[in-house]
Amino acid sequence: MNEELDSQLSAMFDDELAPGECELMARRLSRDEQLKARWGRYAVVGAVIRAERGVRLNAPLAGRVSAVLLAEPALTAQSVPSIPQRAGLRWWQPVAATALAAGVAAVCVMWLHAQAPGYGASLTAQLSAAPIRSDTPVIPASVALSAGQPDSYTVPRTPKTLPGVVPSTELANYVVAHSMFSPPVARRNLLSAFMTSEPAPGGAEEPQGNVKKTTGP
């Protein structure tokens, strides 16, 4: 591996590489096994060691490394055609250490997606949510209603978000229904975001089931 490439990889690890170069590096990572292995040593192993020592990683890098680890069950879940009733459990299963290679591949995907500022921020938030475990626990709903004492909490895994996705008709329904219960500013932001999301490919979405559908007002 040449010195320049090694330097770029190091800069990427330190979150000091320009976004455009990051994207190129991410693409190269996806097809260069040697580079991939080196990134694995830099990022994944290093992150795990730091995490085990209780060292808090700084910068969006922490979120992206975390995303590699956390995205793995999601990728697995999507490849399984038959899901048990409690499908969400797959998201909560421990990540096996042997998933490292696939995780490195996933980091390339995350790099590309993370170019959207909002998405990067959310990834950062995921990892840094971990330290709040002890002092801001999640409260059982029944207790919360009576303002009682909180219980312990395990930080949820990072969901596989789809930034900028056009809401399906179903999601549009949920967004509109929810907006009626949001504070005014949040409601305006939510509806504005819905209005300005990427145009949908194709035409009308065919509704499913027994729906009330007409061709005019």
Partner 1 sequence: MSRRPLGRKAPLLGLALTCSLAGSAVAEEPAAPGTSAQSPALTHPTAHEYAPAQWLQRMNDALTTRNYDGTFTHWHGGRLEMLRIIHRVQNGVVSERLVSLDGSGREFIRTGQSLVCYLPDRRTVLVEQHTAHEPLVGLHFPAVNDQTASFYDIREIGHTRVNRRDTHIIEVAPKDEYRYGYRLWIDGNTSMPIKSQLCDAHGTVIEQVVFASLALAAHIPDSAFKPDVSTEGFQWLRNDAPQAAGPPPANSLPWNAMRLPPGFRLTVRSAQTLPGSANPVDHMVFTDGFASVSVFIEVQGVRAGQPSVPQSATVGSSSAFSTVVDGHKITAVGEVPPATVQFIATQVQAQGPVSAGTPTR
Residues in 30-69 that interact with partner 1 by CB under 8 A:
59-60
Closest CA to 104 of 26, 208, 3, 194: 26
Q: Count of CB atoms within 10 A of residue 41's CB?
A: 12
**Residue 181 sits in the site that holds partner 1 (CB under 8 A):** yes
Report in angstroms how near the CB of residue 40 gets to partner 1 at its nearest.
Answer: 22
Closest CA to 63 of 154, 139, 126: 126
Instruction: Give, as ranges, the residues between 70 and 109 that touch partner 1 (CB under 8 A).
Output: 74, 77-78, 80, 83, 85-88, 90-92
Q: From residue 119 to residue 158, what is the string marking binding to partner 1 with x (rule CB under 8 A)?
A: xxxx-xxx-xx--x---xxxxxxx-xxxx--xx-x-xxxx
**Residue 200 sits in the site that holds partner 1 (CB under 8 A):** yes
Q: What is the DSSP letter of 208?
A: -
**The token pair that represents 140 in the structure block:** 């059982």
Report in angstroms how near the CB of residue 96 gets to partner 1 at its nearest.
Answer: 19
Q: Which of 98, 134, 149, 196 binds partner 1 (CB under 8 A)?
A: 196
Q: Which of 35, 43, 65, 114 binds partner 1 (CB under 8 A)?
A: 114
**Residue 178 sits in the site that holds partner 1 (CB under 8 A):** yes
Closer to partner 1 by Cβ: residue 41 or 133 = 133
Closer to partner 1 by Cβ: residue 100 or 160 = 160
CA angle 157, 162, 163 (to 5 degrees): 115
Residue 62 and residue 15: Cα distance in Å, rounded?
A: 10
**Interaxial angle between packed helices 59-79 and 117-128, expressed in degrees from 0 to 180 and rounded to the nearest 10:** 90
**Residue 172 sits in the site that holds partner 1 (CB under 8 A):** yes
**The token pair that represents 117 in the structure block:** 């500022």
Closer to partner 1 by Cβ: residue 100 or 157 = 157
Closest CA to 141 of 130, 153, 127, 155: 153
